[in-house]
Structure 1
Amino acid sequence: MPNKPTCSILAAPLIAVTVGVSLTGCKILPTPSAENGGKPPAFNADKMVGDIWAAKAVPYLQQKAGPFPEVHALAKADPAAAGAKYGNPKKQANSPWTFSIRLEGKIVAANTQSRAATMDVDADGDGKADARVQIGPAMRGTALRDSLDFIQFNDFTNQIDFAQFGKAFNIYADKTVLSKLPRDALEGRSVKIVGAYVMGSGQDLPLVTPAEAEIGPKP
């Protein structure tokens, strides 16, 4: 567990400061208001994500992301080099690298019967899946949160809030992007994704969580 910050800053509103600013060694606290009896506002991960999604999170991913084949090849050969270029250099030291990527290709398989729906994407044209894309509504991991270098664990009161914040990214991506995607006859369609994935063991397909997704028409 990271060391707790050593100073406090009163700030209002809570959302804009907690997410948009990272101050080394400082804990960011909300200004108490008369409306809630002088108590800090309740932690609201969904609102925090909504406030930064279009303004900061998606633009950051768009700027940071590299082509998936290039990122993944470098990640397998030299994870640290890939992390420096496409990852979050401010990640916790014991955490795996999370990479920002642009994935384009053809859908070669899809599982839309499960709530944890996915589609397998061929990115190099050889007819075999190179990545698995989560399309919700249930999604694993916190890749979107962990790809952002302006989000730090020490900006949060505790690990529970930090975990809820990571889950809120998946919920928001599903609500605003993924729930609008077609679910029928996906195989053979083209797809474009901007998102993130965590460096895995190399045995399974990289599991990509999208922040943007576009599926082409039926072939």
Structure 2
Amino acid sequence: MSNKLNWPTLAGMVGLSLTACKILPTPSGENGGNAPAFNPDKMVEEIWAAKVIPYLQQKAGPFAEVHALAKTDPAAAGAKYGNPKKQANSPWTFAVRLEGKIVAANTQSRAATVDVDADGDGKADARVQIGPAMRGTALRDSLDFIQFNDFTNQIDFAQFGKALNAHADKTVLSKLPREALEGRTAKILGAYTPGSGQDLPLVTPAEAEIGPKP
């Protein structure tokens, strides 16, 4: 009898927790479990077109403008192009639009990249990841509607960042050409976190176009 009395109470508690946390996935009926199964891929699919792309389109600034401001006044650049809700000790991540000519390409590695000249001087200004393997969590960290506290733990937060990169690769980057890229134009909407040293800024795209052979 105790099982019959306790079951509705437990079910109600699970329902309440799901209602209070909007970005957690709905419970899975698999294995008869009551706890929701975290599914970062499904979560990304549900918000990609509805929230991620519109947010980046609205937030992004021209790469040259964003990068120049980021070097002289990171806080000002962050207020305009970054995620103001980021954790205080986290670096700024900026949403950018990058257009220019591809001056170098590395497609031999799974972590393929193209170097883009955005100002027409013949030298690369940014390096763009074109997958399938991508480093970092710039897409995740640029979004002001996704916060660490929305997730159960650090592992789930990290998995969500990987799922964003994987979705960008599946829906956009995997369709890009891989041969004879140098000299073609590139048009990118994405995000990057300024690094240290002399490395080129590494941009992770959410949208990407590569023009025809010149």
Q: Is the pair's TM-score, using the shorter chain for normalization, greater than 0.5?
A: yes
Partner of residue 23, structure 1 = none
The 2-side partners of 1:214 and 1:135 are apart by 11
Aligned residue pairs total: 200
User: Is 1:183 aligned to 2:178, yes or no?
Assistant: yes
Q: Percent sequence identity over matched residues?
A: 84
Residue pair 1:31, 1:40 contacting (<8 A) in 2 also: no
Question: TM-score normalised to the size of structure 1?
Answer: 0.86
Q: Which structure is higher in strand share? A: 1
Partner of residue 98, structure 2 = 103
Instruction: Show CA shifts across 1:94-133 (max 9, x none).
Output: 1110000000000000000000000000000000000000
2:160 equivalent among 165, 171, 178: 165
The 2-side partners of 1:43 and 1:124 are apart by 43
Provide the secondary structure at the position in 1 that maps to 2:51.
helix
Q: Letter of the aligned partner of 1:18 in structure 2?
A: I
1:120 equivalent among 115, 124, 143: 115
Q: What is the RMSD of the two structures over their aligned residues, measured on CA atoms?
A: 1.9
The 2-side partners of 1:188 and 1:150 are apart by 37
User: Is 1:18 aligned to 2:13, yes or no?
Assistant: no
Partner of residue 174, structure 1 = 169
Question: TM-score normalised to the size of structure 2?
Answer: 0.88
Partner of residue 214, structure 1 = 209
Partner of residue 195, structure 2 = 200
Q: What is the CA-CA distance between 1:200 and the residue it aligns to?
A: 1.2
User: Is 1:93 aligned to 2:88, yes or no?
Assistant: yes
Any unmatched runs of 5+ in structure 1?
1-7, 20-29
Q: What is the CA-CA distance between 1:40 and the residue it aligns to?
A: 1.8
Q: Which structure is higher in helix share? A: 2
2:51 equivalent among 53, 56, 63: 56
Q: Letter of the aligned partner of 2:128 in structure 1?
A: V
